[in-house]
């Protein structure tokens, strides 16, 4: 089976310097253009994908709709593909606003420090594993539209590879045979 993991396009929080995570933001016009370009590239892969699955967050759903329409296949919201809630109570806040409201978290290391409401790294890893397990059960070629954090964690867990960039609209195509996972192609994702 083949799995194509796609990162959503540019979203409004990218322009307003807001913390993302589980906060819900729309795609920008640029983000829509990015996904339109990615959808054309995906269509040219000549893989017979049967469905598009996506995170429930707006930026991923809007991205998935563009791909689903281009490929002419159904779209399904897949809650396991949601981004990591890395920012907890800071999610959705402008970074200056966050410093005013929560000065005690002004200089935290988002990757390692505690923030109330933050999803633990271990829990996020378990969710990525569960997502992959459920997708494998489908035993069909699937497009998964998700987020940069989810994509990077997938590479870490299943390929033991650290990504250096997961660009807006970037994607990676994988061949999955039992426990063997091979990267066939990547566009906008560097590792």
Q: What is the pLDDT of residues 124-154, one digit of tens each?
A: 999 999 999 999 999 999 999 999 999 999 9
Distance CA 100, CA 85 (A): 21
Farthest CA pair distance, the chain = 51
Q: Indicate which residues carry an active-site annotation.
A: 8, 83
Distance CA 162, CA 32 (A): 27
pTM: 0.96
**For the segment 76-115, what is each residue's pLDDT rounded down to a tens digit?**
999 999 999 999 999 999 999 999 999 998 788 888 889 9
- Residue 102: CB atoms within 10 A of its CB come to 16
The domain over range 2-86+119-190 is classified in CATH as 3.40.50.1240:
yes
| C-beta atoms surrounding 126 within 10 Å | 12
Beta bridge partners of residue 77, listed in sequence order = 54
């Amino acid at each position: 089976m083949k799995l194509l993991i796609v990162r959503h396009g540019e979203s409004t929080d990218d322009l307003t310097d807001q913390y993302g995570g589980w906060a819900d933001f729309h795609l920008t016009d640029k983000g829509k253009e990015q996904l339109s370009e990615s959808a054309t590239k995906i269509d040219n892969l000549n893989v017979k994908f049967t469905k598009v699955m996506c995170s429930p967050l707006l930026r991923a759903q809007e991205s998935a709709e563009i791909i689903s329409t281009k490929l002419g296949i159904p779209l399904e919201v897949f809650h396991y593909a949601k981004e990591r809630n890395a920012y907890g109570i800071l999610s959705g806040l402008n970074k200056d606003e966050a410093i005013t409201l929560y000065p005690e978290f002004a200089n935290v290391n988002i990757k390692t420090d505690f923030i109330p409401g933050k999803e633990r790294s271990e829990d996020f890893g378990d969710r990525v594993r569960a997502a992959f397990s459920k997708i494998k059960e489908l035993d069909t070629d699937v497009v998964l539209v998700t987020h940069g954090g989810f994509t990077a964690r997938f590479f870490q867990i299943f390929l033991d590879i650290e990504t250096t960039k997961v660009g807006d609209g970037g994607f990676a195509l994988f061949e999955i045979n039992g426990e063997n996972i091979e990267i066939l192609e990547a566009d906008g994702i560097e590792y």
